[in-house]
């Protein structure tokens, strides 16, 4: 199969139940090992565990982590659109783009974690409204990044002769990642706005969603090959198959997932099995693999993956 773009690998480190020094260390390790992207997540409470534990805020954490790396692109995978007004997000993103030397990927999604919305008094509309808000927010943000003064009056958001200076270092603006897999609405937002798209699921799920996305792109006259497709996974590289199965079952239980669904969110097993699973995604068009690292960070799997798996695939490094 001809791969339309280089294969890329990234790490996501949710800033929960960890220390600042541990976060900084694993980002620096990721860069040393050749990972091309690094991400935090956007939650105020820990997820898939005790919500009363420690959790650092995403964008301030990202701004502080970025200068400790030099080459990796950095971002929030993904920002919850419901948490901040789009004009504020535009300003925050510009600041991080400058602080990172032009390495920001701007990730945005509709928002999903109802618990923290309720706890913080943040409105949590129905899913359709959240996706329409996402669409409008991206329109506002792109205007602020590219126009001297931006004016927009939509159903949910409004700016009037608004300045956003300085502009991003990256022109016309930082690449935009849209997170989410909804087939009727979210993928249309991806087609309209995204340079990168991220979701999770099996290769078969991606094949179906990519076909839909390609159709939505054609409807608006866009080349779907201009959108990088990425998958969010967890990783456990081990030759001990019973150990891999234990990790997988623990992952499924923590997230209340059926075991078969969990298998499509977790790469577990020896090197040859990990390679096979990655190739299955590549065959349907996924070229960016991002591994979530929950604490305690499995640095050994990360090192072995970088040394034994990454060289097998054409890299964009």
Min mean pLDDT across 110-119, 216-225, 243-252 is at 243-252
Coil, helix or strand at residue 145: helix
* Cβ atoms within 10 Å, residue 273: 16
Min mean pLDDT across 37-46, 81-90, 245-254, 276-285 is at 245-254
Q: Is the pLDDT of residue 280 over 80?
A: yes
User: Quick one: pLDDT at residue 293?
Assistant: 94
Coil, helix or strand at residue 160: strand
| Residue 250 neighbours by CB under 8 Å, 6+ apart | none
Min mean pLDDT across 19-33, 104-118, 121-135, 252-266 is at 252-266
**Lookup: tokens for 32:** 């040393």
User: Quick one: pLDDT at residue 48?
Assistant: 87
Residue 149: its H or E element: none
* Average pLDDT in the chain: 94
Mean pLDDT, residues 256-262: 84
Min mean pLDDT across 123-127, 143-147, 241-245, 301-305 is at 241-245
**Sorting pLDDT into bands at 50, 70 and 90, what band is 4?**
low
116: closest CA among 58, 66, 63, 60? 58
User: Quick one: pLDDT at residue 316?
Assistant: 43
User: Quick one: pLDDT at residue 254?
Assistant: 81
Sign, CA torsion 182/128/81/252: negative
Q: Is the pLDDT of residue 317 over 50?
A: no
């Amino acid at each position: 199969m001809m791969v339309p773009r280089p294969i890329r690998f990234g790490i996501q480190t949710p800033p929960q139940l960890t220390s600042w020094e541990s976060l900084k260390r694993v980002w620096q390790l990721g860069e040393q090992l050749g990972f091309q992207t690094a991400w935090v997540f956007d939650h105020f409470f820990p997820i898939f565990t005790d919500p009363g534990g420690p959790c650092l805020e995403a964008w301030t954490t990202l701004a502080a982590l970025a200068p400790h790396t030099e080459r990796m692109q950095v971002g929030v995978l993904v920002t919850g659109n419901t948490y901040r007004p789009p004009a504020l997000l535009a300003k925050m993103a510009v600041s991080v783009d400058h602080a990172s030397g032009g390495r920001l990927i701007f990730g945005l999604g509709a928002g999903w974690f109802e618990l923290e919305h309720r706890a913080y008094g943040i409105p949590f509309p129905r899913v359709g409204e959240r996706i329409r808000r996402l669409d409008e927010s991206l329109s506002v943000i792109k205007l602020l990044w590219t126009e001297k003064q931006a004016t927009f009056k939509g159903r949910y958001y409004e700016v009037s002769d608004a300045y956003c200076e300085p502009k991003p270092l990256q022109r016309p603006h930082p690449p935009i990642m849209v997170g989410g897999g909804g087939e009727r609405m979210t993928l249309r937002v991806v087609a309209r706005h995204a340079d990168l798209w991220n979701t999770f699921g099996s290769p078969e799920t991606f094949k179906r969603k990519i076909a839909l996305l390609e159709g939505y792109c054609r409807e608006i006259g866009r080349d779907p090959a201009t959108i990088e497709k990425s998958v969010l996974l967890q990783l456990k590289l081990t030759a001990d198959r019973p150990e891999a199965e234990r990790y997988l079952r623990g992952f499924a239980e923590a997230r209340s997932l059926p075991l078969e669904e969990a298998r499509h969110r977790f790469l577990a097993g020896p090197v040859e099995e990990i390679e096979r699973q990655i190739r299955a995604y590549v065959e349907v068009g996924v070229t960016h693999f991002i591994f979530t690292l929950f604490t305690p960070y499995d640095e050994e799997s990360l090192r072995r993956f970088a040394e034994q798996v990454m060289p097998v695939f054409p890299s964009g490094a």
